[in-house]
Structure 1
Amino acid sequence: MLRKIARVIVVYRHSLAIITLFLLILSAYGLTQLRFESDLSKQLPEDLEAVKSYFTLQNEFGTGGSALIYVKIKSTEEVSDIRDPRVIQAMYNLEQRLKQREYVTDTFSIADLCVQILGRLPKNKEEVNFVLSVLPEKARKGLISEDYSSTIIIVNMNRERNQKALVRVYNDIESDIKRSNFPQGVDVVLTGDLGITYKVLEMLQNDMNRTMAVAGVIVILILLYFYKSPIRMLVPLIPLVFGVVMTLGFMGLLGIPLDIATSTIGAMIIGMGIDYGVHVTNRYYEERAKGEPPEVAAEEAIAETGKALLGAALTTIAGFLALSISTLPSLRRLSITLVMGLGLTALNAVIVTPALAILEEDFRRVVLKKEEIISIGGGEGKIAFIFGKWGAWIKRFPWAALLIALVISGVSFYGLTKVTTEVRLEKMIPMDLPEIKALLDIRSEFGGQDEVYVLIKADDVRDPTLVRAILRFEREVKADSYMNNVFSAESIADEVLQKYGYIPQDKEEISEALKDSSLVSSDYSMTIIKFKGNFMGVTQSEFNRIMEYFEQQIKQADFPPGTKVELAGDAYLNYVLNNLVNEELGKISTIGTLIVVLVVFLIFRKPTIATAMIMPMFLGALWTIGYMGLAGIPFSQTLAGVVSMIVGLGVDYGMHITHRFLEELREGNKTPIITAMESVGPGILVGALTTAGGFLALLTAQLTAIHDFGRVLAVGIFASMFSAYLVTPAILQLEFGRKLKEVRE
């Protein structure tokens, strides 16, 4: 069947080239439709209760996001400290500009307090000191640092959380900051939810372009080294470029956004896709070295290599398809793009590569007047000689190879016990960014400005019994601030107390106190308790403990019957995402592995042969996760599917070795293991180096999540390759070595 298809591809290669060019033009249009996504809520299922509560906060209470503007004295030459009236004036000017923006619901700073207490802006430092002396100590510490070197402006917003809106809002606020006339020596940094999300979006765009460029350079250098010719190098490279452009173009046409996971797709497809073209190219030149004419060599390359490529592509796609069962939209999108990218790249490798190989030979013969033929997969190169020696060693000492694999696995099992998870967005960007430094300073100097909301639903939240229950709950949580890092709290109970000094029994009196409240819905069916503190700046385990504390307090709270109480907000979404990642990790890894094993057994049927093929994927995944634990790399939403991906990729190497071994065995070769390692070993090495090179290109990314993703996948590729060189030939030798010995005797 494959030989017939190969013959059709060779005969109609010019027509197929025209179809490919049409798809490229279509893809070029799709590239203009690509968009980026950095909203955390879009990484979670829409039907999740926490996501529904999150959107309820947005729609009913206008908590569509927040920004913190950090004002710090950088140089004391012109401004001694933050109490300088010129600084207060600039802050007030900035707030007035911000309040004119339709998406800003409220702002708050020391400048507002000065106006409230003095009736105007202060004229000297003594007046600012008077305002600060009126404030309770806790409130003062929450607004201005002890050494008076910094303060904050809190900006509450209600905005659309898409790419265009995010960029517009960020640029608007940056423009307002520049026009507010802060004195020289004062540093003003936009941080918080808005600042960090914008930086993530900006880095996603830059990282995608950078990592694709670096991956391309790495692949080109490796191909130049092995093929020794820039023209011959284009044979496997051009189909790869076609595959990458088509993948990104179809993403734009299908409306698949680029997020933290899918923004790596370009570098990943470059790294993985080159493998297909390399194997077809190597087999073509190997057949030409034997004296076969170009058309026959192309047909043989497609037919013979196609078997291994088809199995490899199917198992890799099977591993990636396991991501599609995830409840996390980001992993489902990654699954679609990877399957589509690998499918397009494999098709281009099989259809375009042979045509280019023949064209390259014609060009060399007619234009360059050269007739030499290269065969890096044959038995005459230095690399092939090394692999031949390796095959001979495996042939003599198969048990030694298995023992080495066992020792490495033992160390990896220890690393497994050290693996953790981390999903918070701010932990995925470099700690030396001004926005992150400012956020860390805010947490250390002002007690933290992270928010956790408790959403309360009832028939009527003005019920005095419910208001008292809210007050009790709020005070109990604040009393445990040493455990939960809560800095301050705000609720309708506080507003009622502020007006009357007590909680009235009359609902109408409570209504009077809440008539201008932003903490209650228009129909009085919902209200929120807003807790502020340092929740996100702690370790993941500490963050989980704090969120679990809130969940436990809600369960134990004495609210009236019929009242529904639940956590909500960005911080809680991070906690829910962390739990989902832990659940998805086990589910996706298990199902992905089972699918790949099933595909291998369905294709090859024989247990020993199938085991020889699948062992590298098991060991590659085990060694990689062990490395993550030892290196302190946590699982994130991006890395949740990494085991399934390594399983899908790792089986390819064992498949190529096994396929060539069986081919040599059928042809009567008495040392098939040596010939198999000699012939496909170099091709696997080139493929692994280029694949890992594509992944290592992700190390140039600024986002820590993408950086770790590339490092882990590169380790996974090398681990799978090394285990294939060790375990697959050893198992094949143990299974068939005795039979071969009997035949020789």
Structure 2
Amino acid sequence: MRPIDRKERLGCWIAKNPELILIAAVLLTLLSLHYAQQIEMHGMRTEDFVDEGSMLYQTYEHLFKERFATVSITVVIEGDDVTTPEVLKAMDRLAVHMESVPDVISVEGISQIVKTSAENELGRGCIPDEQELIDALLLKGDPRLLQNILPDRKHTILSIELPLTLTDEEREEVLHETEKAVAMAEFPLGVGVIVTGDAALGVAIKKEMSENFGSLLGASGVLMILALLLVFRHVNWPLLPLPVVFLGIIWTFGIMGLLKIPMTMISMSAFPILIGIGIDYAIQFHNRIEEEFSKGGSIKKAVVETVAHTAPAVLIALAITAAGFFSLFTSSVPMIRTFGVLCLIGLIMCYLSALFVGITVLYAAETSGNNRKNRSRGRDGDASETTVAETATGRAVRSVVRFSLRRGPMILLLALLLSLAGVYSDTLVPVDTDFKNYMPQDLPPLVQFRHLVDIFGGSDELNIIVQGDDITDPKMLEWMNEFGEYIIESRQQVYFVNSVASYMRMLNNGSIPEDKTATRYLLGIMPSSMRDRYIDGHDTAVMDINIGNALRDLGEEGVDRLIKEMYKDVEWFGVPPGTSVVITGNLVVMTTVIEALTTGRTEMTLFGLVVIFFILLLIYRDLIKATMPVLPMLVVIGWMGGVMYITGMKYTPLTATLGALILGVGSEYSILMMERFYEELKRCNDIDQAISKASSSIGSALVASGLTTVFGFGALITSPFVITNNFGTVTVLAVIFALITTFTVFPVLLIQLERERERIQRLNVMLIDVIKRCAGAA
């Protein structure tokens, strides 16, 4: 009996300990299910876009969001005339009830304007029964506020302001209370009432995400079943890779809950990707066991051979895929880095599941004898059919490879030209970070929100934080007032400016008091909901600058230019001594993310290329083997840039990871093809025969894994979330292109470089020597 080779030890251990492996898998699964219940569903948060230690985050979260920022539930009232006593009294009933609800800061509407004016003019704060008196009282209110909430007699809004710091659950409670209060307010017949606004939209997104995630995984599973039955039916247990990969996903869920990684619109897209990539590992192991077992001999020998030859190749492919995703860590956008972490965890879990559980289940099934009967029946009966199916796929791949080798120069030239054109086109692809464009466009709350914007205008804002020794100083208040008027006149994108100064003018007959005692008095009589919204203590205030629907009209780059121009306005206009001014707000955060995605995308891809190259060089100590998996992926990256430009797609936080995804996923096919080529070359020592044998034997497995990956990513296309749908489209195309280059561009380059090995070997020796010197110096 020959001694066990070092490469065969793990395979022998797996064959000897199937019960131990399955028990460990069950325990790990139960533990994962426990921790998976701790995963939280989150919407878009500031920390997903900006590093918590950055000045941008500190300013937005602590100076603005915690002190001043609000989110609104907006009740839209529509009818023939919304200023009638009956409508106003119903609005008042709704407003009075909502003012008593915990966490509600203020309620603003024309009913409140009429009541306040009636108290000042008539001495009684109630809604009059006479229409003429109502019309007169409305004219007593702030004309700018009135214009914003009563654009015509047929439409008005009741704005319910909440702190932006409320949790999703707290917002949802207030939203449900609003909906119940609307029903109890008893609006007249013929009057339409819609509850919408940013808060309602956020609640709807979270609910849609929760419902969509399950259907996304379900669709991925169904599509994978179809793919496996289509291209993997030549083996026994063709559907086994699917439960194996889902087991790896369950383990990933467990680690996600353990590490407190939340589920977001971005992170939930990682799972169909992991299913698509992870099932490839299970297919490669499964296919190799079937291949080895069909040669005759025991199932134990098949397991040992599979683990000895395929496990290292798949592990190298995993390392390169991980290196592609590792490049995501260079992004300055936290949610991109979190996406990368989740992908890395998932890859490892899927590999472990395929290596230990997948192989163990196959081993147990074959040794039980039940499957042996099916195998015999297949050989005696319809074996020819399954063999033809397998041979047909292998022959098709081999034919493509041979055609590519005969037309090598033409293939390379065409691939290069298309790639260069795509690289140029990629620079013209715009970036979209408006979260409203990410969600299902037919989502009722979104339709209602856009109806609100169409009637009342946009609510995009820039927020200026003003800090000084004493904001209540008349000179400070006068500066805020004058600067607000200046930017309204000088910037056509600015519609109005709200601040403590503008409300103080309203309380003081249109002017700022000249002494501090008067300003302090006016602050004292100012409603707390108004005062607290614009001033915090005596040293910090905020100016809300309404810029309508700037994100839609100007685009992200236009908003970025506007912010820079407003900083110039502040510098030119000047600020009082000892005063600091900073522009913040959600739009400022978004423009920063745009810049990070736009400028960081190329750096991520280049970093990934370099990392993959050096990892392969360290593994193989061979320049050809280190270069070959990278070159075809450069071609695919170029092609994808052209596809995105031609189809009119935009880069989002998800599609910005496309370069890393292509490097990670696509290079895997090239590595597995290359590993099999050199395995066959070692046996026959003939390049042409080796590439022919490799393409025929592993071609069917690559096509099977490629199509199942495509089907897995295809589940993303079924998502109603536009950001996920678009990502699914580009990833499906990327995988298809990666397969095409693996069978066309890759063999041509591999054969040509292998024929020049002697010349390249000199450079290889020099490069390895440099790496050793650098490592020694370090």
**In the alignment, which of 136, 152, 159 is matched to residue 157 of structure 2?**
152
1:201 aligns with 2:206: yes
- What are the equivalent positions in structure 2 for 1:159-170 lying under 5 Å apart? 160-170=165-175
1:672 aligns with 2:690: yes
Residues 211, 90 of structure 1: alpha-carbon distance in 2 compared, 3 angstrom cutoff: same
Q: Is the Cα contact below 8 Å between 1:65 and 1:193 reproduced in 2?
A: yes
Q: Distance in 2 between matches of 1:510 and 1:117?
A: 22
Residues 189, 231 of structure 1: alpha-carbon distance in 2 compared, 3 angstrom cutoff: farther
What SS does the aligned partner of 1:155 have?
strand
Alpha-carbon distance, 1:494 to partner: 4.5
- Give TM-score, length-normalised by structure 2: 0.88
Alpha-carbon distance, 1:104 to partner: 0.7
Q: Is the Cα contact below 8 Å between 1:471 and 1:494 reproduced in 2?
A: no
1:276 aligns with 2:290: no
**In the alignment, which of 559, 569, 577 is matched to residue 543 of structure 1?**
559
Give the match for residue 341 of structure 2: 336
Give the match for residue 101 of structure 1: 101
Q: Distance in 1 between matches of 2:370 and 2:412?
A: 48
Residues 573, 112 of structure 1: alpha-carbon distance in 2 compared, 3 angstrom cutoff: same
What SS does the aligned partner of 2:684 have?
coil
Give the match for residue 644 of structure 1: 660
Give the match for residue 53 of structure 2: 47
Residues 587, 612 of structure 1: alpha-carbon distance in 2 compared, 3 angstrom cutoff: closer
Give the match for residue 65 of structure 1: 71
Give the match for residue 710 of structure 2: 692
Give the match for residue 486 of structure 1: 495
Q: Is 366-375 or 203-212 further displaced after alignment?
A: 366-375
Q: Is the Cα contact below 8 Å between 1:13 and 1:355 reproduced in 2?
A: yes
Q: 2:272 is aligned with what amino acid?
A: A
Give the match for residue 768 of structure 2: none
Give the match for residue 590 of structure 1: 606
Q: Distance in 2 between matches of 1:185 and 1:141?
A: 24
Residues 189, 48 of structure 1: alpha-carbon distance in 2 compared, 3 angstrom cutoff: farther
Q: Distance in 2 between matches of 1:504 and 1:71?
A: 37
**In the alignment, which of 460, 467, 470 is matched to residue 450 of structure 1?**
460
Q: Is 371-380 or 104-113 further displaced after alignment?
A: 371-380
Deviations 1:185-208 (A, max 9, x none): 444333332122212212221221
1:26 aligns with 2:31: yes
1:735 aligns with 2:753: yes
What SS does the aligned partner of 1:518 have?
helix
Residues 500, 96 of structure 1: alpha-carbon distance in 2 compared, 3 angstrom cutoff: closer
Residues 536, 583 of structure 1: alpha-carbon distance in 2 compared, 3 angstrom cutoff: same
Give the match for residue 659 of structure 1: 675
What SS does the aligned partner of 2:150 have?
coil
Give the match for residue 590 of structure 2: 574
Residues 401, 97 of structure 1: alpha-carbon distance in 2 compared, 3 angstrom cutoff: same
1:142 aligns with 2:148: yes
Q: Is the Cα contact below 8 Å between 1:103 and 1:159 reproduced in 2?
A: no
Q: Is the Cα contact below 8 Å between 1:492 and 1:527 reproduced in 2?
A: no
Percent identity (aligned): 23
What SS does the aligned partner of 2:238 have?
helix
Q: 1:511 is aligned with what amino acid?
A: R
Alpha-carbon distance, 1:737 to partner: 5.1
1:555 aligns with 2:560: no
Q: Distance in 2 between matches of 1:739 and 1:502?
A: 85
Residues 126, 504 of structure 1: alpha-carbon distance in 2 compared, 3 angstrom cutoff: closer
Give the match for residue 402 of structure 2: 392
Q: Distance in 2 between matches of 1:595 and 1:175?
A: 57
Give the match for residue 432 of structure 2: 422
The answer for unaligned runs of 5 or more in structure 2 is 1-5, 119-124, 759-778
Two-structure CA RMSD over aligned residues (Å): 2.7
Deviations 1:643-700 (A, max 9, x none): 2122111111111111111111111153112222112222222212211222221122
- What are the equivalent positions in structure 2 for 1:145-294 lying under 5 Å apart? 145-146=151-152, 148-158=153-163, 160-228=165-233, 232-294=237-299
Give the match for residue 632 of structure 1: 648
Q: Is the Cα contact below 8 Å between 1:68 and 1:155 reproduced in 2?
A: yes
Deviations 1:703-729 (A, max 9, x none): 211222222222221222222222110
1:347 aligns with 2:352: yes
What SS does the aligned partner of 2:218 have?
helix
What SS does the aligned partner of 1:107 have?
strand
Q: 2:499 is aligned with what amino acid?
A: E
Q: Is the Cα contact below 8 Å between 2:419 and 2:637 reproduced in 1?
A: no
Residues 728, 602 of structure 1: alpha-carbon distance in 2 compared, 3 angstrom cutoff: same
Q: 1:722 is aligned with what amino acid?
A: I
Give the match for residue 526 of structure 1: 540
Q: Distance in 1 between matches of 2:64 and 2:560?
A: 24
What SS does the aligned partner of 2:185 have?
coil
Deviations 1:418-449 (A, max 9, x none): 21111122221233333333333333332323
Q: Is the Cα contact below 8 Å between 2:616 and 2:625 reproduced in 1?
A: no
Q: Distance in 2 between matches of 1:278 and 1:377?
A: 17
Deviations 1:93-126 (A, max 9, x none): 2212211122110111111122223442243655
- What are the equivalent positions in structure 2 for 1:277-316 lying under 5 Å apart? 277-316=282-321
Q: 2:255 is aligned with what amino acid?
A: F
Q: Is the Cα contact below 8 Å between 2:633 and 2:663 reproduced in 1?
A: yes
Give the match for residue 122 of structure 2: none
- Give TM-score, length-normalised by structure 1: 0.92
Residues 103, 681 of structure 1: alpha-carbon distance in 2 compared, 3 angstrom cutoff: same
1:117 aligns with 2:122: no
Q: Is 345-354 or 50-59 further displaced after alignment?
A: 50-59
Q: Is the Cα contact below 8 Å between 1:384 and 1:682 reproduced in 2?
A: yes
Deviations 1:136-179 (A, max 9, x none): 76544311233x33221222112544333333333333333333
1:602 aligns with 2:633: no
Q: Is 373-382 or 106-115 further displaced after alignment?
A: 373-382
Q: Is 278-287 or 553-562 further displaced after alignment?
A: 553-562
Give the match for residue 700 of structure 2: 682
Q: Is the Cα contact below 8 Å between 1:57 and 1:569 reproduced in 2?
A: no
**In the alignment, which of 507, 514, 521 is matched to residue 523 of structure 2?**
514
Give the match for residue 391 of structure 2: 381
Deviations 1:312-332 (A, max 9, x none): 100111111222343322122
What SS does the aligned partner of 1:543 have?
helix
Deviations 1:348-401 (A, max 9, x none): 111112222223335673696542378989995211111121122123222222
Q: Distance in 2 between matches of 1:624 and 1:690?
A: 20
Q: Is the Cα contact below 8 Å between 1:419 and 1:635 reproduced in 2?
A: yes
Q: Is 431-440 or 293-302 further displaced after alignment?
A: 431-440
Q: Distance in 2 between matches of 1:205 and 1:556?
A: 49
Give the match for residue 743 of structure 1: none
Residues 519, 17 of structure 1: alpha-carbon distance in 2 compared, 3 angstrom cutoff: closer
Q: Is 352-361 or 337-346 further displaced after alignment?
A: 352-361
Alpha-carbon distance, 1:61 to partner: 3.5
Residues 185, 433 of structure 1: alpha-carbon distance in 2 compared, 3 angstrom cutoff: farther
Q: Is the Cα contact below 8 Å between 2:614 and 2:626 reproduced in 1?
A: no
Give the match for residue 443 of structure 2: 433
Q: 2:739 is aligned with what amino acid?
A: M
Alpha-carbon distance, 1:634 to partner: 1.7
Give the match for residue 76 of structure 1: none
Q: Is the Cα contact below 8 Å between 2:484 and 2:497 reproduced in 1?
A: no
Give the match for residue 720 of structure 2: 702
**In the alignment, which of 51, 55, 62 is matched to residue 56 of structure 1?**
62
Q: Distance in 2 between matches of 1:676 and 1:378?
A: 18
Residues 48, 192 of structure 1: alpha-carbon distance in 2 compared, 3 angstrom cutoff: farther
